[in-house]
Amino acid sequence: MAHSAVSQVSIAAPIGSDISLRRSVVKGVDNGRSECVVSNAALCSLLSRYSIKKLFVEFFLDIVAANRNSISFRDKSWASTLSWDLKSQTAQKSNQFIVRMSVQQASKSKVAVSPLELEDAKEPPLNIFKPKEPYTATIVSVERLVGPKAPGETCHIVIDHGGNVPYWEGQSYGVIPPGENPKKPGSPHNVRLYSIASTRYGDSFDGKTASLCVRRAVYYDPETGKEDPSKSGVCSNFLCNSKPGDKVQITGPSGKIMLLPEDNPNATHIMIATGTGVAPFRGYLRRMFMEDVSFKFGGLAWLFLGVANSDSLLYDDEFSKYLKDFPDHFRYDRALSREQKNKNGGKMYVQDKIEEYSDEVFKLLDEGVHIYFCGLKGMMPGIQETLKRVAEQRGENWDEKLSQLKKNKQWHVEVY
């Protein structure tokens, strides 16, 4: 997705009547001026021109009244990114302030969601539907996520559960593919678990859908090197081959390990994913940066994503937009094993990218950061070895440090 540059549109407005303020707003935008100088009263009128929520206007004017200097304020409950820089300008004499704002950014709003009752639950829903009595949901859409040069195929699958199988970010759904279990004739297939790639409001923001990020499992003959369709993954291929309107049996939701802690909205979260392991993190980030919900995130979210190449990147448009809109609250580092080299000249894996920032990562770990890992089981040994080596270089005992991280509930792992 192409993104247009966000320019700092400025308004030069004199103190005076609402009419003169309105005229200078128009003139300032037309001329691309760089500053807006207004009195407290005129400031309220100016802010109103941009449909700022009443609560924010009152809060903003409280700051002005206190004559605070050099304040940067971001209210992400209503705008993707809005920066205010206040500088006292002979406050004692004129009580005027300079306001710099981006009109383009100010026009952006977070997405309204419903039902808001989904914010009220104190405990996550767990195992509402079990394997013996699954819920029959409906496929809404199946979309290929990767480009033509990606090895394999990964799909984004939206499922309509009608609001009957609610979940929280970081939980999983079970899927029972149609047909018989070959190991138990007459019995259904075993449940396959998939991390949910949406927030509790789903991609439609109405609390009635859930999204899965599924890579089609295929097998290759070790002798010929050709794909063996007789051994293709039963559930992943069923989901990737589905059409809108098809029915799907789901169970759950399940899982508490990967729930997003929301007790401290200013906390730091480091998310490390390989491939489809990015699913729960997409849900976290949509909740942090896209939706207008009770959770007002003001901390730092740092995503490390490891995939084969650029065509294999998942949800990259969404993540890139957050990076542009929330540069102070989001970091995004990609490890492309077939396109990038690590410091030793080998392939760049996610653990190599983590090592590049090891000083920062370890500092954040000491400060109480939540760190999450999601993806194939094979990702963890390399990551653990890297973290252990870095710890030893720093004169630390990794086993003791890891034990403390787990004790502090900072360490969250879900691999499959």
118-145: pLDDT as tens digits? 999 999 999 999 999 999 999 999 999 9
The residue-averaged pLDDT of 61-78 equals 39
pLDDT band of residue 380 (cuts 50, 70, 90) is very high
Query: Is 215 flagged in the annotation as binding?
Result: yes
Instruction: Determine the pLDDT at residue 230.
Output: 67
- Among residues 10, 80, 172, 195, the one annotated as catalytic is 195
**Pick the residue with more confidence: 358 or 14?**
358
Nearby residues of 93 by Cβ (< 8 Å), 6 or more positions away: none
Does the domain made of 268-415 have the CATH classification 3.40.50.80? yes
pLDDT band for 302, please (50, 70, 90 cuts): very high
* Per-residue pLDDT tens digits for 9-34: 333 333 333 333 333 333 333 333 33
* Token code pair at residue 376: 């194939």
194 catalytic residue (yes or no): yes
Is 81 annotated among the ligand-binding residues? no
Answer yes or no: is 199 a known binding residue.
no
367 is catalytic: no
Name the residue among 157, 244, 169, 171 with its Cα closest to residue 201.
Answer: 169
Q: Write out the residue limits of the CATH 3.40.50.80 domain(s) in the chain.
A: 268-415
Q: Report, at the CATH architecture level, how domain 116-254 is classified.
A: Beta Barrel (2.40)
Say whether 123 is catalytic: no
Q: Respond yes or no: is residue 195 known to be catalytic.
A: yes
- How confident is the model over 67-81, as a mean pLDDT? 37
Query: Is 401 one of the annotated binding-site residues?
Result: no
Contacts of 86 (CB under 8 A, 6+ apart): 63, 64, 68, 69, 70, 71, 97, 98, 99
Residue 376 marked ligand-binding: yes
For residue 226, the model assigns a pLDDT of 74
Q: Is 74 annotated as a binding residue?
A: no
The active-site residue, picked from 135, 167, 173, 194, is 194
Is residue 189 scored above 70 in pLDDT?
A: yes
What pLDDT score was predicted for residue 232?
A: 77
pLDDT at position 74: 37
Tokens found for residue 4: 């247009």
> Is 284 in the active site?
no
Rg (CA), the chain: 25
Q: For the chain, how far is it from start to end, CA to CA, in angstroms?
A: 31
